[in-house]
Structure 1
Amino acid sequence: MNIELISIPKIEDNRGNLSVLESEILPFEFKRVYYLYDVPSGAERGGHSHIEQKEFLIALSGSFDVILNNGTEQRTVTLNKPFEGLLIHEGIWRELNNFSSGSVCLVIASAVFDEADYVREFDEFLALQKS
């Protein structure tokens, strides 16, 4: 599956830790950054794939599960460390659920928002994967 867990440098200090995300860590240039928070208990986010966009997800606070599907294989990754992120390449269906109270999901994207890049129906996603 075309995903990768990537460690983010962590500088430990007794006053609190610091993590730094610089462009060399990811295989794409940042075009958009957004974050999910105050997700109600039992709610799901995601439910789509991208045709070209890549994304890097980080649990800045709390935890959540990312369910990934490439059309033939499904895998669940739990994100719960602010110094580790999940790189999701294009063509991977993703759903986010099981958000803990107070969780924050930071998303760093390779492109600005473009609705034409989204595949929002799972059946359409599967058809694209077969072609």
Structure 2
Amino acid sequence: MAAGFGLDAFARSRPQDLSALRMRTAHVRGATLTLAVADQPDSVGRGLSGQGSLGSLDGLLLVSPDSDNTRVTMLGMNFPLDLLWVSADGEILHVEENARAGLWPLWHSSPEPAAQVVELSAGSVKAHKLAAGDRITFV
């Protein structure tokens, strides 16, 4: 969801403390997921970059102030992710499985505007049988 490089790239050089972020529970297809919430420019910019794992979390919810810019980079990542682009009303708009850590492709994005992105451990989409069109509820 980062708009580019510069200070944002520097922020990603140090992993953020996920336990310091607000937590939300998400319900989708009978699964209950515990997500850290990145909703400030710094926390969105850092995302999961530099983390060794998700630890006890199921994922990270990235909340975009600009639904036209919900691009996700895997730069600085140490493990693959499943990505869900979600509308403001909770519809999963686009799913990308097993986005690999590294430089290519630099950006991952949804073909349609989304209000938020859920980053999950690779394999979560298959494990929970998630698909575009499913509804996710955040509490």
Structure showing greater relative contact order (alpha-carbon pairs closer than 8 Å, 6 or more residues apart)? 1
TM-score, structure 1 normalization: 0.40
TM-score, structure 2 normalization: 0.39
Q: Which one has the largest radius of gyration?
A: 1
Identify the structure with the greater strand proportion.
1
